[in-house]
Chain A
Amino acid sequence: MKDETLRKSNETDAALTASESEMQDISDLKDIRLAVEHCSVRVDNGMDDTKEILTDANLAVKPGDFITVLGGNGAGKSTLFNVIAGGIRPTTGRVLMNGEDVTSTSQETRAKYIARVFQDPKMGTAPRMTVAENLLLATRRGQPRRFKMREMAANHERFYELCKGIGNGLEEHLDTPAGNLSGGQRQALSLIMATITKPDLLLLDEHTAALDPKTSKQLMAITASTINEQHLTCLMITHRLDDALKYGNRLIVLQKGQIVRDLNAEEKKKLTMSDLLEFFEDGF
């Protein structure tokens, strides 16, 4: 009798743990900010020939992750970002944002969740519009553009403070066309625009690469503090190995269109510069 009850309770226990772990799985799925599942991208390169520029990419990004992405030129890093942001539709596989399948949605629709900063300072800002106008555009990221007067005056103060926080004199140029700014100022502006409405996911594609070393370092410091303060979820492509080591809680390495390494925080901490250089030994 006693035995039986014990066995029964054991059974229920087992059943409970099973259902519990199942529950865990489901909540895990919801807990995942971005999931890239078996994504491949094949492109035609003219003469009946296809080339695979991304091969079976898998990636699960949790809220608060700050992932640095490494890889040589042409490794497929930007392609991966384009797949995530909707600029390229993967040939196979799917992309999920907050558990929702967004594979077939446009880049414009995904702007609601995803903000990007590119390598080229010209890419992220409208050159003939002023700094303040650019910022105002960004405050309505992913929202409908209404036939309603823009609220420039009401936002001017806030923009001034935001730009002042960067510390490169951007606040003095609120009414200057963005095209007249220096490269560093333009990238700083792009960064503020990307983070002014807290995005679910921030994609930084070598955003410091076009700047001189000093400006690049400044922008990287600002980037890191913004990500920390706002608890942003971020993927950052970088070609600077020291930045890749210093920042982020996770590191992935791409090679020939494949994610060949995915290191967690622990593994990343143990990583040294020579380890990183080893990643690049073969393949380039």
Chain B
Amino acid sequence: MIISSIGQGMLWSMLGLGIFMTYRILGFPDMTTEGSFPLGGAVCVAAITMGVNPFLATLLGVLTGMCAGLVTGLLYTKGKIPVVLAGILVMSALNSVMLFVMKSPNLSLLNLPKIQDVFLPLNLPENYDTVFIGLLAVTIVIGLMSLFFNTEFGQAYIATGDNESMAKSLGIHTERMTNVGLMLSNGLIALSGALISQHDGYADVSKGVGTIVIGLSSIIIGEVLFGELSFFQRMLATVVGSIIYQLLILLVIRLGFDTTYLKFFSAVVLSLCMLIPQFKRALHLTTGFEKYFKKDDTVMSSGKANA
């Protein structure tokens, strides 16, 4: 069971890495996520049922995810629609797109080939195929992302998120960067969706619900655990965060919680993680409270004197 969670954590980490590209670098939450994740799965599964090779089907899923990201990007950069709303619009529209692609709210891969079947000849013990697919995907994706961030283009992309007006003044086309970022991000998210669908053996329109919480959790768990990191390490930390998140879910299930309330649990975990900086600040203030109080005092007394 633990092995299975680790493997799934790696598959889900593509989602975290995708959200990292927007939330952590460009600095906004991209709601397209909740649509592009199930879309990747839907397109991939539909393609496989039509006889497409699972690798190619996965790639198709990624491409449709990128298209979704591009639409959000264009609505935002050219249409000047606030980015969160643009994402919600696309997410909502993708529901219908998935129904169109699958012709039903869900679609099974029973007795059909899946991407993890490449490991069948190796006769691996149960769940190890997921771990291997996960390792492979993580290695390739993190490798490509590291390369990307070290190109002139990737540096310009980081600069766009870091200081947009400076980027513009250096001649960086920040709108183009935002569009490319949303495409790459949603491509990764759709990849995660496609891999998870093949692992689960079916695609479902409703699979996107709460995915943004899962992705953000893996990023933030990684940050909380490891603190200050280099760029490359932050990506690895996201993968670790994603695995830990899956293990936490496993723990919750083992403890006998009703899985119906899993999303509630997820939201609470993410909220707590995001509150940690506030707690830290509050604690810090308490240690320096005396000084603070004295300062306040003088202000008050001088105020009185004035009155």
Contact = CB atoms under 8 A, between A and B. Distances in A.
A129 B155 CA distance: 9
Contacts of B173: 108
Contacts of B172: 108, 137, 145
A124 interface: yes
A116 B166 CA distance: 9
A256 to B, nearest CB: 27
B166 A123 contact: yes
Most chain B CB atoms below 10 A, which of A111, A145, A148: A145
A145 B163 contact: no
Nearest to B177: A145
Given A124-B166, A145-B152, 16 more contacts: A85-B169, A107-B169, A108-B172, A111-B169, A111-B171, A123-B165, A125-B166, A126-B166, A127-B162, A137-B156, A137-B159, A138-B170, A143-B171, A146-B151, A147-B153, A150-B155
A149 interface: yes
A187 to B, nearest CB: 13
Contacts of B152: 140, 145-150
A145 B153 CA distance: 5
Most chain A CB atoms below 10 A, which of B152, B155, B158, B172: B152
A122 B99 CA distance: 48
A241 B166 CA distance: 28
Contacts of A85: 169
B161 to A, nearest CB: 9
Contacts of A149: 147, 150-152
B163 A141 contact: no
Contact-residue bracket for chain B: 20 to 34
Interface in A127-143: 127-129, 133, 136-138, 140-143
A268 interface: no
A146 B154 CA distance: 9
Pairs of residues from A and B, 4 with the lowest C-beta to C-beta distance, nearest first = A111-B171, A126-B162, A142-B171, A145-B156
Given A108-B173, A146-B151, A149-B151, A126 B158 contact: yes
B291 interface: no
Contacts of B166: 123-126
A228 B171 CA distance: 25
Interface in A241-268: none
A25 B85 CA distance: 55
B263 interface: no
Main secondary structure of the interface of A (DSSP, over half): loop
A148 B56 CA distance: 27
B168 interface: yes
21 contacts: A85-B169, A108-B168, A108-B174, A111-B168, A129-B155, A129-B159, A133-B155, A137-B155, A140-B170, A142-B170, A145-B151, A145-B153, A145-B155, A146-B151, A146-B153, A148-B152, A148-B153, A149-B147, A149-B150, A150-B151, A193-B170
A116 B171 CA distance: 12
Contacts of B153: 145-148
A109 B158 contact: no
A136 B170 contact: no
Interface in B130-148: 147
A141 B170 contact: yes
Contacts of B170: 111, 137-138, 140-142, 193
A145 B150 CA distance: 12
A123 B162 CA distance: 11
Most chain A CB atoms below 10 A, which of B155, B163, B171, B172: B171
B2 to A, nearest CB: 36
Interface string B59-85: 000000000000000000000000000
A42 interface: no
A173 interface: no
A198 interface: no
A80 to B, nearest CB: 16
A112 interface: yes
Given A145-B156, A150-B155, A128 B169 contact: no
Interface string A98-118: 000000000111011001100
Interface in A53-83: none
A149 B172 CA distance: 17
